[in-house]
Structure 1
Amino acid sequence: MVKNSPISVIPQEEKRGSVEFQVFNFTNKIERLTSHLELHRRDYLSQRGLRKILGKRQRLLVYLSKKNRVRYRELIGQLGIREPKTG
């Protein structure tokens, strides 16, 4: 398995329960699972786990965009996440 270095955008002092930290953590998991699935294309259980994590991250991003639009835009800019299409 190819190890990717995790993104280190969020400082260590950041609260682990904050939405930003959770999105950051899910993004690292998504990158690891994506690299795993490139090697193991038929690992359907990992595919399911990836879809679940993507959904959790999406729900957190929707919550953050409603609560604080500025922090939301900063976070997706730092992590390189595309903004979902609306409408």
Structure 2
Amino acid sequence: MLKNSFISVISQKEENPGSVEFQVFCFTNKIRRLTSHLQLHKKDFLSQRGLRKILGKRQRLLAYLLKKNRARYKELISQLNIRETKNR
């Protein structure tokens, strides 16, 4: 339900369903599900590894979006309640 509402918001803005915003949204949902899973199962090391991989992918996509279009980056960060990435 949440995914469908976000798809409709993004599809109104852009015609590309594989946009960076949508990918970051999907990764954010996976991250939230995995963190709640890891709170119950603290020794699930394979899920921890998967979480770290997804976090890295999302970080790279956000860095790309920041480099290409800062306004879209700021809007996406505020919509998904994500902290800004650290500047290196």
Tell me the TM-score normalized by structure 1.
0.85
Q: What is the total number of aligned residue pairs between the two structures?
A: 83
Work out the CA distance in 1 between the residues paired with 2:59 and 2:86: 12
Structure 1 runs of 4+ off > 3 angstroms?
A: 5-9
If each structure's helix is expressed as a fraction of its own residues, which one has the higher value? Answer: 2
Query: Relative CO higher for 1 or 2, CA cutoff 8 Å, sep ≥ 6?
Result: 1
Aligned-pair identity in percent equals: 67
Tell me the TM-score normalized by structure 2.
0.84
Deviation at residue 8 of structure 1 after TM alignment: 6.6
Say yes or no: does 1:68 pair with 2:64.
Answer: no
Structure 1 unaligned residues grouped into runs of 5+: none
Work out the CA distance in 1 between the residues paired with 2:36 and 2:4: 18
Work out the CA distance in 2 between the residues paired with 1:63 and 1:82: 16
Residue matched to 1:11 = 7
Structure 2 unaligned residues grouped into runs of 5+: none
Alignment of 1:1-87 (within 5 A): 6=2, 10-12=6-8, 14=11, 15-87=16-88
